[in-house]
Chains A and B, each alone.
Chain A
């Protein structure tokens, strides 16, 4: 488990360094909402617990150990009631699978979303195909969707690529197809097109593999951390799918020592040793950091670039927001203007492509997070 996935989370550890844990055992809880539990993705020995600045979570590592219990004790692994799933999801470590819109954080334990979006869109060839991954987990996926409908008064939207519907439509479940550019894979785009979120009507998003894992929990009573992850990128010898667990070590998955391993895609991903909580893809890159032996290159990168409006910027944001005014508001930190323009519909991953296309070279993901943090403090 990495602190980078849950920025600002202050943990209260329930295990000690060196303890043996089983898959699904509670490792730590959110200090602010003690109902929200974080479960161990594999059995083993807790090898490292570390705090970051301000007592936030830095890292919590588990190393495989033969002596560790392989499964939860029967007392814990009882089958929860699908009609009233909230307590079970909180206690069994599934709450962090949800992310809210606006703000993109883990929802409060008692919050009720206006709708839930399941992300099952496949964009590009570098991510697992949901329809293939779900063939053997179809029943669990349907049960997971049913459980999700108990959490909201509104609808559950299954966002998928064009093709056969992944879920049966009924009064509470709707399948929506998205196709096209990179932005079609982002929950921000789906939510903005189908059900715009506001501060009063928050919307949650969740991945399709997490939904299937919830179904697994409610069918057999067991925690399931197994996920299908794609390994690809320019430096990978052969792109492939592997079945592994949440937060697995990337070196163990890819077996590549050289090059840069990114958790997530090349655009929004981060260079990491472990797989991120919300990532289903490992990208292996071979570019290196800028060459320090050529300092004269810096002459051609004068400080303080301007933003020149180009068509690439307009195309990079699929959400219905005027791009250039939004970027100007973000780059000067104008919280009010950014909110007026609709930045609450966005989180970091939605604007990552803009930083790449913009002539100013500003890191809009970081700027947006600052604006969202300001807005979150002022929110009721």
Chain B
């Protein structure tokens, strides 16, 4: 699939803009239930993410950037509406700082800041019940997901591998296995957390392995055949931590094959 009508982003800011555009529709869908509350949550998350991004840019002498907008949007979609503002501000700040800013900004880290923020939220505030994925949310994700795929910002290999692996693992462990249900439950986390280009594996063979690992973890973390937001978040976090190792092994295998080829 080549994008003919959309210019491919050639800068980090361009990638963030494309991701934000893809996130607008899911956010509007979620916010429709309680518009004023979600607007307040989004503003709080934006202030937290951008304040720290600005502070880091100032301290390091960089120009300003607005990559934290994607972190704030993802967080605002997944957090429950009854969450306290200080909790949102805390986890988004920590996610942005620990997930990317300490490494030097978007693209320099190895995990997605939104994943870190949400994982911290689940660990720190276990009494909070996250918004669970619904079929309607999956439909709202679809246009953005397709355009990100067309722009080459998420890998079809990762998407396929996660879906197939989650389905296979749930089938083997005797949990509920309706493919449509799995796809709907996975859609948001898959497109914006697991397949995020900064945290996914970056070699083609590595993408299959990474996706298979993430899908297996999703199946492992979900109980009684119900894929929860928590399962997807922790699967994304664990898989992202293993992605550099997967890439390293793939490169070793490639070098070995290449060495054999040149001696033939």
Binding site for B on A (CB under 8 A): 196, 198, 298-312, 314-315, 320-322, 324-325, 340-342, 356-361
Contact = CB atoms under 8 A, between A and B. Distances in A.
A314 B200 CA distance: 14
Interface size class on chain B is 35 or more
A322 B250 contact: yes
Most chain A CB atoms below 10 A, which of B64, B155, B258: B258
B83 interface: no
Which secondary structure dominates chain B's binding surface?
loop
A190 to B, nearest CB: 16
Contacts of A306: 12, 104-108, 198
A305 B12 contact: yes
20 contacts: A196-B261, A196-B262, A302-B64, A303-B62, A308-B106, A308-B153, A308-B197, A308-B198, A310-B153, A312-B152, A322-B203, A322-B250, A322-B251, A322-B254, A324-B202, A325-B202, A340-B251, A340-B255, A359-B12, A361-B11
Interface string B61-80: 11111000000000000000
B9 to A, nearest CB: 7
Contacts, number: 95
B63 A310 contact: no
A307 to B, nearest CB: 6
Given A306-B104, A308-B15, A310-B153, A301 B258 contact: no
Given A302-B65, A304-B104, A307-B107, A312 B203 contact: no
B230 interface: no
B152 A310 contact: yes
Interface of B: 8-15, 57, 61-65, 104-108, 151-153, 155, 197-198, 200, 202-204, 247, 250-251, 254-255, 258, 261-262
A306 B65 CA distance: 12
A304 B108 CA distance: 10
Nearest to B196: A308
Given A305-B11, A305-B12, A310-B15, 15 more contacts: A303-B62, A306-B12, A306-B104, A306-B106, A306-B108, A308-B198, A310-B197, A311-B155, A312-B152, A315-B152, A322-B250, A325-B203, A359-B9, A359-B14, A360-B107
A357 B258 contact: no
Contacts of A198: 262
A311 B250 CA distance: 18
A357 B107 contact: no
A70 to B, nearest CB: 49
Nearest to B263: A198
Contacts of A358: 10
Nearest to A196: B262
A361 B106 CA distance: 15
B196 to A, nearest CB: 10
A189 to B, nearest CB: 15
Contacts of A308: 12, 15, 106-107, 153, 197-198
B12 A357 contact: no
Contacts of B105: 302, 304, 306
Given A304-B62, A308-B15, A324 B203 contact: yes
A314 B12 contact: no
B107 A341 contact: no
Contacts of B247: 322, 324-325
Nearest to B106: A306
A254 B15 CA distance: 39
A299 B107 contact: no
B213 to A, nearest CB: 17
A310 B64 CA distance: 23
Contacts of A300: 13, 63
B11 A357 contact: no
Contacts of B202: 309, 322, 324-325
B9 A341 contact: no
